[in-house]
Amino acid sequence: MPTDQLLTIQRCNIVLGVVGTAVGGMIWGPRGLLAAGIGAALSVANFWAIRRLGLRAMAKVASGESAARAMPLVAALLGKMALLFALVWLMVRRVGLPVLPFTMGLSIFVLSILITGLFLGGAGSKLPISPEDQG
């Protein structure tokens, strides 16, 4: 299982979250710092849950259990996504966090996957490299 790559993405998430929070504070002041920090914390927590639940589901199926035995973990992933949507709505609409720095903090998840994917290259891929791509 690609646990090393997922841990690298998780660590990159944390580092980029700290950087994004600092940038939010420098650009938008204390409210931007708070909004970017909360967005980054949600992003880190989101990926942590995805990694844990996804790896558990893959381990169940890889061990020979039927896919139906992994369905509670898949349902937990769907519940996690619903909770994330609710928290984002709550933070923007009810708490009143500034949208731009909050979104910047929340977006570190996507940026960390991109950076880590570029850094790792094809090391985590299980797909064979085609002869055309080998040069």
The region that residue 121 occupies, defined by phi over 0 for left and psi between -120 and 50 for alpha, beta otherwise, is left
Distance in angstroms (rounded) separating the CA atoms of residues 73 and 76: 5
Work out the average pLDDT over 63-88: 87
On the question of pLDDT at 1 being above 50, the answer is no
Tens of pLDDT, residue by residue over 39-48, are 999 999 999 9
